[in-house]
Amino acid sequence: MSATWGTLFQVTVFGESHAAGLGCVISGMPPGFPLDLDLVREAMQRRAPNRTSASTKRQEKDHFEILCGYLHGRTTGTPLAAIIRNRDQHSGDYKELETLLRPGHADYTGLVKYRGAGDIRGGGHFSGRITAPLVFAGAAARQVLAARGITVGAHVQEIAGIQDAAFNTFSAAELLLPEQGEFPVLEAERGREMLEAVEKARLELDSVGGMVEVAAAGVPAGLGEPFFDSLESCFAHMMFSVPGVKAVSFGDGLEMIRWRGSEANDSPRLEDGRIVFASNHSGGMNGGISNGMPIIFHVAFRPTASIARPQDTVDYVSGKEAVLRLRGRHDACIVPRACEVVKNAAAVVLLDLLMQADSHGQ
């Protein structure tokens, strides 16, 4: 029953796609931190629609306004609230929707949960747009992490069966490379192919899904808990809040189900007298706790639910079966934008765990 995430670094999100606005409240932000709002804006911009043809034509600028918690370029340490106003809404596009349940969307479940009172326009509170304030919070968290030597990166690993290279060196340069180009991949050519596949699906009035790889380097060993707040638990909890996510896998998680233990185990070894691991199949964690190796996980997205082709459904007002023809502007693939969301959302998780690990009690 919670719009609030976190133990020490807490983020509360609110908003609906077609209400006056949306936003977030960040509680537990370290005081006096020189938060660079331009970096936040850039992250918001990477999530915003219309960067490429893969995305909806809706022109939201996602301009945010900070209401409190920020003074003279620094965080005050008290709650930081930011709001984003909705401007470019074509609520008319959603008229018909108000009675036809959109397949793959939360229309029916929202109807049940909120007893018909929810704002269904544009997905309301279920809209991917609610990830904008989450990106705001994550872009702030990423800066605090960076100041502590931790880099969080992500790229589109796969769309429509086309695969990008995997992160390999986990240098800051590599982790941030996907932010440099038009499309968040390591190999630009793969990005172009992905875009073509997305465009093809769109022209066929359909959509595609994909996979994002997230990684964090510089994370100290010791973050996370055995029960119940394992590192995996905390990351997965957050990732599965993001609309469209249907699977999360850590390290070589999915492949490992068919491996032998002798292949899956990462052997400790010494490097300059320090304990490291000879491989990183586990994705940087053992027993729910970070082991000092890069953290790696994959987030799987289902194909966008909003597609232009006619779909069978039910009119919940008339109580009759009907055919839905969606209008409005929709991404034929949300993965490129979602890549920015999960990267920043991962930073929110990581900062909270880092702050918890700072506590030692003696």
Residues 282-311 that bind a second copy (CB under 8 A): 282-283, 285-292, 300-307, 309, 311
Binding segment toward a second copy, per CB under 8 A, in 5-13, 48-56, 170-178, 181-189: 5-13
Residues numbered 45 to 74 that lie near a second copy (CB under 8 A) are 65-71, 74
Q: Count residues contacting a second copy (CB under 8 A)?
A: 163
Site string for a second copy, 202-241 (x = CB under 8 A): --x-xxxxxx---------xx-xxxxxxx-xxx-xxxxxx
Considering only 37, 39, 172, 247, the residue that binds a second copy (CB under 8 A) is: 247
The reply to whether 25 sits near a second copy by the rule CB under 8 A is yes
* Nearest distance, CB of residue 332 and a second copy, angstroms: 8
37 neighbors 45 (Cβ within 8 angstroms): no
Q: Which of 266, 336, 339, 341 binds a second copy (CB under 8 A)?
A: 266
As a whole number of angstroms, the distance between CA 23 and CA 104 comes to: 25
Residues 110-129 that bind a second copy (CB under 8 A): 110, 112-119, 124-126
Asked if residues 296 and 219 have their Cβ atoms less than 8 Å apart, the reply is: no
User: Strand 74-75 vs strand 210-217: parallel, antiparallel, or unpaired?
Assistant: unpaired
Q: What are phi and psi of 341, to 5 degrees?
A: -65, -50
- Say if CB 58 and CB 68 are below 8 A apart: no
| CB-nearer residue toward a second copy: 11 or 174 | 11
* Whether 295 contacts 277, CB under 8 Å: no
**Segment near a second copy (CB under 8 A); pick from 27-35, 55-63, 88-96, 182-190:** 27-35
Query: Which CA distances in Å does 292 have to 193, 218, 237?
Result: 35, 7, 22
- Tell me the DSSP string of 288-319: TEE-SSPEEEEEEEPPPS--SS-EEEEETTTT
CA 194 to chain centre: 19
- Assess 361 for contact with a second copy (CB under 8 A): yes
Q: How far is the CB of 173 from a second copy (least distance, A)?
A: 23
Are 100 and 108 contacting, i.e. CB atoms less than 8 angstroms apart?
no
